[in-house]
Amino acid sequence: MKTIFITSALLGLTLGVSAQDQEIDSLEGTKVVLDEVFVQAVRVTKSSPVTFSNLDKDEIAPRNLGQDIPVLLNFLPAVVTTSNAGAGVGYTGIRVRGSDATRVNVTINGIPYNDSESHGTFWVNLPDFASSTESLQLQRGVGTSTNGAGAFGASLNLLTDAVAKEAYGQVSSSIGSFNTLRNNIKFSTGLLNDHIEISGRLSRISSDGYIDRAFSDLDSYFLQAAYKDDNTLIKALLFGGHEITYQSWNGIDGQTLQNDRTFNTAGEYTGEDGFTQFYDNEVDNYKQDHAQLLWNEQLSDAWSTNIAFHFTHGRGYFEQYREDESFGEYGFEPLIFNDSLVNTTDLIRRRWLDNDFYGTVFSTNYSKDNLGLIFGGGLNRYEGAHFGEVIWARFASNSEIRDRYYDDDSKKTDFNVYAKADYGLTERWNLYADLQYRTVAYTANGEDTGLVDDTFNFFNPKAGLVYDLNANNNFYFSYAVANREPNRNDYESGSPKPEKLNDFELGWRYVSPSFQLNANTYYMRYKDQLVLTGELNDVGAPLRENVGDSFRAGLELEAVVLIGENFQWRPNAAFSTNKNIDFVFERDGVLQDLGNTNIAYSPNVVLGNSIGYSPFENFQVSALSKYVGKQYLGNIDSKASILDAYSQTDLNLSYTLEFDKIIKSINFSGLVNNILDQDVVSDGYFFTFDDDSSGSVQTFEGAGYYPQAGINFLLGATVRF
């Protein structure tokens, strides 16, 4: 029998079990653990010198009431999250160790999810995806070799719903502040004839958002067909979503933050009567559909193979009302109206993205005695069409319906192969090695990017040692190299360089029946790191620049403490220093050497805490808190760029009634976010501009902020059949 590893939700204990024989219970029927093989190539256990945290479905469930996956990960170590609409529904973001979502490699069943061009992860395109997630692992630092763009802050891999042995049905609803409403239905046939299962989910989420007009209308689906026997597991999956969200990416300035926290400038224009109005359809409208075919074959006790084919189709636009736009930008000819020359107009435009992403990922696994080997890789292709349309203009000039004022294509081919070895030198010492070769070819021809035709070749080696002092103590050290290509937005400001990271990790894990501690230090040294400047482009996307030499260094602590039979305490802390080395900035027309400056969006202190109490069976109450220290929104240590420290405390309750009839159980859950009603501002932007109108160059600064909701709540009920 093949041995794989399961990590317990409670203590993180790593146990060897038989993949073919072992079954674990859940509220949705008995799961077949063979599903775990789909993430073997990208996940790690305590025998690997990698810093990681695990979450499974049971841990997520009490708080899974419609908020996005980044928000559900908020209380993990070194994690900072934010929400554009201010309440966790719609566009959300995540940073790990100060690195934003473009630097967090995300895979779903081992298949890349990050957008190939922007490197971002847009969870709004997969609303309620947590309801179809069996487990996830967040690796901090470079982590293990995986598919897609290299990890520069973390890797997040998700395993979707496992095969259920027994049939079930489920209906779930939740309501909350800001007219938030989530409904979903789930089902599984269980194993038919001991071999075939069909399962699925339909979800709908709507919310007005905390920020003015920042509504979200979200639909999603998940459908799975699976076949299994003693040596084979095949899964075919279709899942996707459709989001319509009113734009709220502009933020507000400091004065507005004090006087009108929910104000939203998106859609603002001056009407014919001279009064300010807001366009009612300033929305992002996007659909994304995914198809995955996963096949695992157990060839012998020692050998197994995985191969997956995938296809993603995305299409949609964001719509904007624009005032006094120049004819020249849209290809309009000047015209004479009422004897006056007209060359500007108010208009409504749509900026479209229509893209396909497809390919294959594969691995061959060998495990026998004290040696484990994985050989794998992936070949993926992205084809994207970017174009813009004017759907209304006050003066349309010579334009025709469906004319495109820009129209460009981009293509990206990403190929990688890797080999991983895990070798037990002795009963106490374990050696880990991981070698990856990756080549990326990218072409684009947009006005924002210029003509791009780049090919990158990267070699990413990793190695480490693990020492088991005894049954309770485990130590590890690793060194890893990662290289990454620039993303599409990086080309807007010139010819960006690829970036390189050397990551050193040293950790200690202690496990006992009532106490667990994970402690690690790290030093991440970058060359030509593409750091966020704090500025946004004209569509709200953050801009980056190469900064030469930089580093991140820190200490992370994560513990689980069981106090008697009823209390569980889970604190974590991340302390870090994050510096640009010898940073140069042009102020008032003069280059200045600022020395070592703080890297933008990188707080030195991030604390998390969870206290859980279960006074009796099936009832749980948890208090969850987060503290994020002061951070800078830019890289020049300007006082105007400081984002103040903030804290938030949430209260979560869950109670389950169990029955032996048609209804198996009813779960009631509640979540009070920001129960202390703190004024939280979790994100922002910073910009500088030069003005020479006075005869000499003067540099001015400005900042914008994204406030989050005060006290708000979500209440839900889930009925299982």
Q: Over 60: is that where the pLDDT of 4 sits?
A: no
* Helix H or strand E segment including 356: strand 344-368
Handedness of CA 328, 329, 333, 339 (dihedral sign): negative
Residue type, position 105, single letter: N
pLDDT band at 35 (very low <50, low <70, confident <90, very high): low
**pLDDT tens per residue, range 290-334:** 999 999 999 999 999 999 999 999 999 999 999 999 999 999 999
pLDDT the model gives residue 24? 34
Mean pLDDT value across residues 581-590: 92
The per-residue b/e assignment along 256-295, b for 16 or more CB within 10 angstroms, e otherwise, is bbeeebbbbbbbeeeeeeeeeebbeebbbbbebbbbbebb
Q: How far apart are CA 103 and CA 200, in angstroms?
A: 31
pLDDT the model gives residue 11? 36
Q: How far apart are CA 323 and CA 550, in angstroms?
A: 41
**pLDDT tens per residue, range 126-168:** 999 999 999 999 999 998 887 777 788 899 999 999 999 999 9
pTM of the model: 0.92
**Domain map (residue ranges) of the chain:** 22-720
Which residue(s) pair with 199 in the sheet?
Answer: 188, 224
Which residue(s) pair with 92 in the sheet?
Answer: 83
pLDDT the model gives residue 541? 80
User: Do the beta carbons of residue 93 and residue 70 sit within 8 Å?
Assistant: yes
Q: How many C-beta atoms surround the C-beta of residue 341 within 10 A?
A: 8
pLDDT the model gives residue 449? 87
Mean pLDDT value across residues 344-367: 96
**Closest to 97 measured CA to CA, from 577, 619, 483:** 577
- Virtual CA dihedral for 112, 118, 123, 124, nearest 10 degrees? -140
pLDDT the model gives residue 33? 54
Pairing label, strands 154-160, 104-108: parallel
Portion of the chain with pLDDT greater than 70, in percent: 95
User: Do the beta carbons of residue 475 and residue 507 sit within 8 Å?
Assistant: yes
pLDDT band at 41 (very low <50, low <70, confident <90, very high): confident
User: What is the overall mean pLDDT for the chain?
Assistant: 91
**Closest to 35 measured CA to CA, from 224, 161, 167, 221:** 161
pLDDT the model gives residue 3? 31
**pLDDT tens per residue, range 531-572:** 999 888 777 788 889 998 999 999 999 999 999 889 999 999
Helices (H), 399-539: none
Q: How far apart are CA 326 and CA 342, in angstroms?
A: 10
Of the chain, the end-to-end C-alpha distance in Å amounts to 34
Question: Quick one: 229 exposed, middle or buried, by C-beta within 10 A (0-12, 13-18, 19+)?
Answer: exposed
pLDDT the model gives residue 543? 87
pLDDT the model gives residue 46? 85
**pLDDT tens per residue, range 367-390:** 999 999 999 999 999 999 999 999
Q: Over 70: is that where the pLDDT of 506 sits?
A: yes
Superfamily of domain 22-720: TonB-dependent receptor, beta-barrel domain (2.40.170.20)
Q: How far apart are CA 413 and CA 87, in angstroms?
A: 37
pLDDT the model gives residue 170? 96
Q: Which of 196-200, 226-230, 431-435, 446-450 has the lowest mean pLDDT?
A: 446-450
Three-class DSSP category at 448: coil
pLDDT band at 493 (very low <50, low <70, confident <90, very high): confident
Q: How far apart are CA 285 and CA 141, in angstroms?
A: 34
Q: Over 60: is that where the pLDDT of 25 sits?
A: no
**Closest to 23 measured CA to CA, from 166, 158, 128:** 166
Q: How far apart are CA 104 and CA 155, in angstroms?
A: 5
Cα 590 to Cα 582, 586, 595, 641, 690, distances in angstroms? 16, 5, 15, 20, 11
Q: What are the residues whose beta carbons fall under 8 Å from the beta carbon of 321, sequence distance 6 or more?
A: 267, 269, 279, 282, 346, 347, 348
Q: How far apart are CA 41 and CA 107, in angstroms?
A: 11
Q: Over 80: is that where the pLDDT of 30 sits?
A: no
pLDDT the model gives residue 34? 58
Q: Which of 544-548, 624-628, 634-638 has the lowest mean pLDDT?
A: 544-548
pLDDT the model gives residue 636? 95
pLDDT the model gives residue 272? 83
Mean pLDDT value across residues 235-245: 97
Q: Over 70: is that where the pLDDT of 478 sits?
A: yes
Locus of tokens 């025998």: 47
Q: Over 80: is that where the pLDDT of 217 sits?
A: yes
Q: Over 80: is that where the pLDDT of 96 sits?
A: yes
User: Do the beta carbons of residue 146 and residue 118 sit within 8 Å?
Assistant: no
pLDDT the model gives residue 153? 83
E strand map for 84-209: 92-96, 104-108, 111-112, 133-140, 154-160, 168-176, 180-188, 196-207
User: Do the beta carbons of residue 441 and residue 467 sit within 8 Å?
Assistant: no
**pLDDT tens per residue, range 646-699:** 999 999 999 999 998 899 999 999 999 999 999 999 999 999 999 888 888 999
Mean pLDDT value across residues 41-47: 82
Mean pLDDT value across residues 481-489: 93
Q: Over 50: is that where the pLDDT of 15 sits?
A: no
Q: Over 50: is that where the pLDDT of 236 sits?
A: yes
Q: Copy the structure tokens of residue 205.
A: 């989420």
Q: How many CA atoms lie within 13 A of 213 on its CB side?
A: 19
Q: Over 80: is that where the pLDDT of 523 sits?
A: yes
